[in-house]
């Protein structure tokens, strides 16, 4: 995962991968982005103490997949902000214009979406991609729901004793513990997503870096749980060993 693609602001829109075909690159269409300053912002520029970062300007852009047979169109919008930059080494100051994205629809995939991923999980993951730009706390909550749907996919029980004496409805933490017994090695990653999701739900906020960490952890976990890459590579290794290094064809 290239974190620079999911930064807060950009001097120009990145070349994200198309969310539809997942192969082509999204290119900014001609005459975009377009921006417009608000009237009240223009009025404030007449103030004697006005600074460039007082400017309130919105932008919109259309991006299109470079593959002609796909041609997906993505709408991007947000603020064109002016940031104060200081270079302490050379004792220089400057103002830099940045595009701060507030929404992308359909949103590019922050991590790959496997074709083997169950629809219920896929829907939550794609919603998390979209909400990442709009409301990071809501995106974190969607990742928590994703974990719940993943537990459903693997038929992790919803009722049991857990650490209690009586049978009860298991919460997500207990279901993750049960899942660890079924498929060891993923408890920490799933618990991390659960905690970030809980914090987003209860506190109404989520740290960008923590959220990207969650996507990175999820990408690694899904490569084994859904795509079974480690098992596939192990099988290929065994096949080469059995055939004394030959391809087997």
Instruction: Dump the DSSP string for 3-36.
Output: GGGG-SEESS---PBPTTTSSSBEEEPTT-SEEE
CA nearest neighbour of 51 among 13, 87, 81 = 81
pTM: 0.85
Beta strand pairing status for 159-160 and 92-105?
A: unpaired
**pLDDT for residue 176:** 96
Q: Are 114 and 226 in contact (CB under 8 A)?
A: yes
CA nearest neighbour of 61 among 76, 73, 71 = 76
Q: Is the peptide bond before 106 cis (omega within 30 degrees of 0)?
A: yes
92: confidence class by pLDDT, cuts 50, 70, 90? low
Contacts of 162 (CB under 8 A, 6+ apart): 168, 170, 174, 177, 178
Q: Are 124 and 194 in contact (CB under 8 A)?
A: no
pLDDT at 51 over 80: no
Give the span between the Cα atoms of 135 and 142, in whole angstroms. Answer: 11
Lowest mean pLDDT among 18-27, 35-44, 62-71, 187-196: 35-44
- Residues 178-203 have a mean pLDDT of 93
More confident residue, 30 or 41: 30
pLDDT at 248 over 70: no
87: confidence class by pLDDT, cuts 50, 70, 90? low
**pLDDT for residue 163:** 77
140: confidence class by pLDDT, cuts 50, 70, 90? very high
- Residues 1-19 have a mean pLDDT of 93
Q: Are 40 and 10 in contact (CB under 8 A)?
A: no
Give the span between the Cα atoms of 167 and 184, in whole angstroms. Answer: 23
pLDDT at 249 over 60: no
Number of H helices and E strands in the chain, helices first, is 7, 8
Instruction: Dump the DSSP string for 170-239.
Output: --HHHHHHHHHHHSTT-HHHHHHHHHHHHHHHHHS---HHHHHHHHHHHHHHHHHHTS-HHHHHHHHHHH
Q: Are 107 and 79 in contact (CB under 8 A)?
A: no
**pLDDT for residue 240:** 66
- Percent share of the chain, pLDDT over 70: 90
- Residues 121-145 have a mean pLDDT of 96
Q: Tell me the Ramachandran region of residue 129: left when phi exceeds 0, alpha when psi lies from -120 to 50, beta otherwise.
A: alpha
């Amino acid at each position: 995962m290239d974190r620079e693609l999911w930064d807060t602001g950009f001097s120009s829109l990145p070349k994200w991968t198309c969310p539809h075909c997942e192969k082509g690159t999204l290119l900014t269409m001609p005459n975009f982005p377009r921006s417009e300053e608000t009237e009240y912002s223009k009025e404030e520029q007449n103030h004697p103490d006005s600074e460039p970062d007082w400017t309130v300007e919105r932008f919109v852009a259309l991006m299109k997949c470079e593959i002609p047979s796909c041609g997906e169109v993505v709408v991007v919008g947000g603020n064109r902000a002016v940031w104060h930059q200081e270079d302490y080494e050379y004792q220089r100051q400057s103002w830099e214009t940045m595009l701060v994205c507030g929404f992308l629809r359909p949103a590019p995939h922050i991590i790959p979406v496997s074709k083997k991923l169950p629809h219920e999980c896929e829907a939550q993951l794609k919603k998390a991609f979209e909400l990442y730009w709009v409301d990071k706390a809501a995106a974190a909550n969607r990742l928590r729901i994703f974990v719940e749907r993943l537990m459903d996919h693997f038929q992790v029980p919803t009722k049991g004793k857990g650490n209690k004496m009586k049978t009860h409805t298991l919460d997500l933490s207990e279901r993750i513990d049960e899942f660890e017994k079924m498929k060891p090695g993923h408890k920490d990653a799933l618990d991390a997503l659960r905690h970030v999701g809980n914090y987003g739900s209860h506190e109404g906020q989520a740290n960008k870096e923590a959220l990207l960490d969650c996507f990175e952890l999820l990408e690694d976990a899904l490569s084994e749980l859904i795509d079974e890459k480690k098992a596939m590579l192990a099988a290929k290794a065994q096949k080469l060993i059995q055939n004394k290094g030959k391809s087997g064809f």
